[in-house]
Chain A
């Protein structure tokens, strides 16, 4: 069965530190990849997405992610985090235009001022 793994469940950083959150998936075919963010008490918002083309994708709020097909990975990065980035981050994969979005278990990021 297809799965999505987020290896970091909790991450604590100080402001201005760099961030990288890992995401790996198990499906070998064509995939669409997403990162969503859920701020405390709020709904999920799309940070960025990859459908095709340049594997380095830039999203909102200074986030970017790189699709490495050979590693089945789609890691999220931000060079300098802010306190307002404190949230839960979800990686999600959709395969072969299936409509079905498979989510990872999420990474809780806490940024200390």
Chain B
């Protein structure tokens, strides 16, 4: 009964490839997020969707494209992968329902290694 799940857990790929990471939450939350954690453990928000609408789009290369087919899913597609994309990517969700943003629940992370 995992609250926020991500697949795959590990992803090793070569430069130039295109890959996707999937995220699903079964908490009934209406806001989902993608974060990137670099090798120094620094966490930075990338995107956020509220009820399938993009509400946060940080300064991220346009090779990264989030897609939210419904409010329980937020996928991250990355084109033309580069060495610098190697990181751990965390998905998160929060319950807001039109009020102030609530606490965020994080998934287990996807460790992406680009060779």
Contact = CB atoms under 8 A, between A and B. Distances in A.
A73 interface: no
Given A94-B101, A97-B101, A100-B48, A43 B42 contact: no
Interface residues of A, number: 24
Contact of A32 (B40, B100, B106): B100
Given A90-B43, A105-B40, A106-B41, A99 B101 contact: yes
A42 B109 CA distance: 8
A44 B106 contact: yes
Contacts of A25: none
B103 interface: yes
B31 interface: yes
Interface of B: 31, 33, 40-45, 48, 50, 55-56, 90, 92, 94, 96, 100-101, 103-109
Contact of B100 (A97, A101, A106): A97
Contact of A103 (B42, B96, B100): B42
B32 to A, nearest CB: 11
B60 to A, nearest CB: 13
The dominant DSSP class at the B interface is: strand
A49 B10 CA distance: 30
Contacts of A32: 100-101
15 contacts: A34-B103, A36-B106, A44-B43, A46-B105, A97-B100, A98-B101, A99-B31, A99-B50, A99-B56, A99-B94, A99-B101, A102-B45, A103-B43, A106-B42, A108-B41
Contact of B109 (A43, A88, A94, A103): A43
Given A38-B41, A45-B106, A101-B104, 13 more contacts: A42-B108, A43-B90, A44-B90, A44-B92, A46-B105, A97-B101, A99-B31, A99-B55, A99-B56, A101-B33, A101-B45, A106-B41, A106-B42
